[in-house]
Structure 1
Amino acid sequence: MNASGGIRTAHLFDMAVDLCPQLPFGKGPFGRRVLFGAAGGTFHGPELHGEVLPGGGDWALFDAEGTMRLDVRLTLRTHDGALLHMTYGGRWVAPRPVREALADPSERHRIDPAHYYFRTTPLFETGAESYAWLNGIVCVGSGRLVERGIAYTVDQVL
């Protein structure tokens, strides 16, 4: 914490994830479940960079009010070949007036991210010694929709 008692953060990386066509499971006992599969992507930051491997995704759950609860698992490969398991939960909340525009795949990336709330809490796991420091940190992320998928700014909580 800093002198004023607030939480300090440091930029870890920016990440863009290309998405596969969504797979709707339908409405179940906990809400409407949709898989947003990861088709690939990239991440770039001051201490690490590389690619998002295909195969992960977000097993999202929408509640009756339209809030999406994220359940994401991704595999990142660093520029030097280390594998990082990245998981995060979070919330994506879109006010009713912008939901229709956000549902249009050809237009949703044009919606100003200030019109919706998209926050995440990434954690990492790796056996790579040079990146073992990631195993002990907590992060926060801010997401936004982009043309081919989603993008995040991820900060380490200090």
Structure 2
Amino acid sequence: MPWNKRSTGPPGAPPSETTMTHLISPPMPGLDLRFAYEALVTLQPEEVQGHTHKGQRLRVPITGGRFQGQGLSGRILPGGADWQLLRTDGRLEIEAIYDMQTEDGAFIHVRNKGLWYSANNQWPAEYAVTHPVFEAPQGPYEWMNTSLFVGTVGEGPDGPLSIRLAVYQVCMNTQCLPPLATALNL
């Protein structure tokens, strides 16, 4: 761990650079998040696939949807699915595999793993975080292959038959590689 937290602010406040004691000098680079896109994904009802020693296996077919962000918009293609494991501790492991098609016709393959938890098994979840990995073609969306991303999951307008995703690119010291404006030829 590169630093120890010392809280000088209100309880629960995140540490700031002034509240960190560094073990090694100079301090490690910080991380920032840059909004990539938001998606609304439509679903079919879950299919129970049985119990294993790890928990109950579920499959949720993806029927479509839309996504939109800075220089990035299009549709979620039908045919993907979210393979889920409802663990014995009540956490839900998710692994959605699907394809997106941009407005200009590019196909982007997505593998989005995450963890969802709600004490009462209802929305809003106390914890719903994902780590999408993209396989984008060469060209304007190639930047998606060279960065890490994280996302959050929320309930969509159609209740259990839709979800909202907000996806963010992880950057170091406010620098994302490559810079978004360069990747989009702006």
Shorter-chain TM-score bucket reads: 0.7 to 0.9
Letter in 2 for 1:69: E
Mean CA deviation greater in 43-52 or 25-34: 25-34
CA distance in 2, matches of 1:136, 1:39: 28
Equivalent pair of 2:136/2:145 in contact (CA under 8 Å): yes
Question: Relative contact order, CA 8 A, sep 6+: which one is greater?
Answer: 1
1:116 shift after superposition: 2.2
Aligned to 1:157: 170
Letter in 2 for 1:24: V
5 Å-filtered alignment, 1:43-62, equals 43-62=67-86
The C-alpha deviation readout for 1:19-41, integer Å capped at 9, x for no partner, is 01211101123321101110000
The C-alpha deviation readout for 1:58-111, integer Å capped at 9, x for no partner, is 10011112100111111000000000001111100111xx22xx2xxxxxxxx4
Classify the secondary structure of the residue corresponding to 1:87: strand
Does residue 29 (structure 1) correspond to residue 39 (structure 2)? The answer is no
Letter in 2 for 1:153: A
Percent pairwise identity: 30
CA distance in 2, matches of 1:126, 1:7: 24
Where structure 2 has 5 or more consecutive residues not aligned to the other structure, the ranges are: 1-15, 18-28, 172-186
CA distance in 2, matches of 1:128, 1:73: 20
CA distance in 1, matches of 2:138, 2:114: 26
Q: How many residue pairs were aligned? A: 142
Higher helix share: 1
CA distance in 2, matches of 1:55, 1:150: 16
Equivalent pair of 1:83/1:128 in contact (CA under 8 Å): no
Provide runs of 4+ in structure 1 moved above 4 Å.
none
Q: Normalising by the residue count of structure 2, what TM-score does the alignment of the two structures yield?
A: 0.72
